[in-house]
Amino acid sequence: MDQENQTMVTEFYFSDFPQFEKGSLLFFIPLFLIYMFIIVGNFMIFFAVQLDARLHNPMYNFVSIFSFLEIWYTTVTIPKMLSNLVSKEKTISFTGCLLQMYFFHSLGVTEALVLTVMAIDRYIAICHPLRYATIMTPRLCIQLSAGSSIFGFLMLLPEIVWISTLPFCGPNQIHQLFCDFEPVLGLACTDTSMILIEDVIHAISILTSVCIITLSYLRIIVVILRIPSGKSRQKAFSTCAAHITIFLLFFGSVTLMYLRFSVTFPPLLDKAIALMFAVLAPLFNPIIYSLRNKDMKDAIKKILFLCSQKTFSVSRSQ
């Protein structure tokens, strides 16, 4: 078909969401509750770190940044999923789809870099405690945080710009829960093999982060096992347990989602992996950091107490 006779796609249709009358409300309610929990839980962690002086150190600073990123990471996709569950028109504009892909993956890359920085921070704190204060200065923490964000948002820009120039002439059905590279590029009516170069770059960056984090925690575990005091050993390990759990959840879902190479999954399993990557992994972040850390639990209780006191005083004044 000649290019001038083709009808260009201006919007995409999420074809795999159930209609409202066919029970979509059963999916809407739990997804909405999960989203609210993610937002409230991560905001509480973020404000707990900012307001409690005991948590003003590099480790908790990176935890608060990670929680802040999780809020926007989930906000890029979940509200649109909720809308698709209750709306008859389960569509997204071409520009909206590009923006969703850009922010979802940019925030994801930034989170991966922050997790890498957190692993390095714990490595220095446990393996080189005497040099920790001189190495992890406030200035370096700001530079690492800003650098992670800048690199994360610049890395995906060329790919998104390239996709925006591709012709999409139909069909326009996306067989996924949100806009993602593979399902969207599959709809382009031109050769998209150049994306393999970007895929290799992404794979290298993911594997580099995984290697740095894994080596850091392996070295940490070796040092912890050499600590003679059982109490000190337990305290040192507890500070890393939450980070290791989040690392396994995050990069485990990333590996299943984007490092499968030529392996193909059944459509239902594919969507389950996407749901784990975009929804379930962020759900466990506030649970893990608030339940496994006494200082964080105390700070969150303090915030809840102050909020309840303020609410009580406002209600009394009325």
In a domain, 36, yes or no: yes
Question: pLDDT confidence of 202, banded at 50, 70, 90?
Answer: confident
As a whole number of angstroms, the distance between CA 286 and CA 36 comes to 12
Specify the pLDDT at position 7. Answer: 59
Choose between 268 and 34: higher pLDDT.
34
Question: Is 28:80 a contact under the CB 8 Å cutoff?
Answer: no
What pLDDT shows up at residue 1? Answer: 43
Residue 89 has φ and ψ, to the nearest 5°, of -95, 95
42 found inside a domain: yes
What are 96-137's pLDDT values in tens digits? Answer: 999 999 999 999 999 999 999 999 999 998 888 899 999 999
Q: Who contacts 289 (Cβ-Cβ below 8 Å, separation ≥6)?
A: 45, 63, 67, 242, 246, 296
With left for phi above 0 and alpha for psi between -120 and 50, is residue 293 left, alpha or beta? beta
> How many domains does the structure of the chain reveal?
1
Does a structural domain hold residue 137?
Answer: yes
Please indicate, yes or no, if residue 315 is contained in any of the structural domains. no
Range of 46's domain?
11-259+267-298
Does residue 6 form part of some domain? no
Domain membership flag for residue 35? yes
Q: Which residues pair with 92 in a beta bridge?
A: 12
3-class SS of residue 159:
helix
Does 305 map to a domain? Answer: no
> pLDDT digits over 212-253, tens only?
999 999 998 888 888 777 777 777 777 778 888 888 888 888
**So what's the pLDDT on residue 171?**
82
175: Cα separation from own chain's centroid: 21
Question: Is residue 318 one of the residues assigned to a domain?
Answer: no
The 10s digit of each residue's pLDDT in 38-52 is 999 999 899 889 888
Q: Looking at residue 178, which CATH number applies to its domain?
A: 1.20.1070.10
Contact assessment for residue 50 and residue 298, using Cβ atoms and an 8 Å cutoff: no
Q: Which residue did the predictor score with more confidence, 186 or 259? A: 186
Q: What's the whole-number average pLDDT of the chain?
A: 84
Average pLDDT over residues 178-205: 81
Minimal CA–CA distance to 205: which of 249, 155, 252, 157? Answer: 155
b/e for 39-65, b at 16 or more Cβ within 10 A? bebbbbbbbbbeebeebebbbbbbbbb
Total length of the chain: 318
Predicted TM-score (pTM) of this structure: 0.89
How many other β-carbons are positioned within 10 Å of the β-carbon of residue 292?
15
Q: Which two tokens stand for residue 309?
A: 């006191």
